[in-house]
Amino acid sequence: MPPKRDGDVVVITGASAGVGRAVAREFARRGASLGLIARGHDRLQAACEDVERLGGRAIGISADVADADAVEAAAETIERDLGPIDIWVNNAMTTVFAPFDQIRPEEYRRATEVTYLGTVWGTMAALRRMIPRDRGTIVQVGSALSYRGIPLQAPYCGAKHAVRGFTDALRCELMHEGRNIQLTMVQLPALNTPQFNWCRSKLPNHPQPVPPIYQPEVAADAIVWAAYHRRREVYVGRSAVTAIVGNKLAPWYADRHLAKNGYASQQTEEEVDAARPDNLFEPVEADYAAHGIFDDRAADSSWQLWLTKHRGWLLAGAAVVGGALAVAGGLLSNGCAHDE
Report, as residue numbers or ranges, the catalytic residues. Answer: 156
The CA distance from 101 to 336, in Å, is 73
Give which of 86, 16, 83 is closest to 49, Cα–Cα: 16
What DSSP assignment string belongs to 228-241? HS--SEEE-SHHHH
Tell me, what amino acid is at 130? M
Residue 149: which region, alpha, beta or left (left: phi > 0; alpha: psi -120 to 50)?
A: beta
- The set of residues, in sequence order, having a beta carbon less than 8 Å from that of 339 and lying 6+ positions away, is none
CA 82, 84, 89, 90: dihedral to nearest 10 degrees?
Answer: 100
Tell me, what amino acid is at 220? A
**Contact status, residue 182 vs residue 230, Cβ threshold 8 Å:** yes
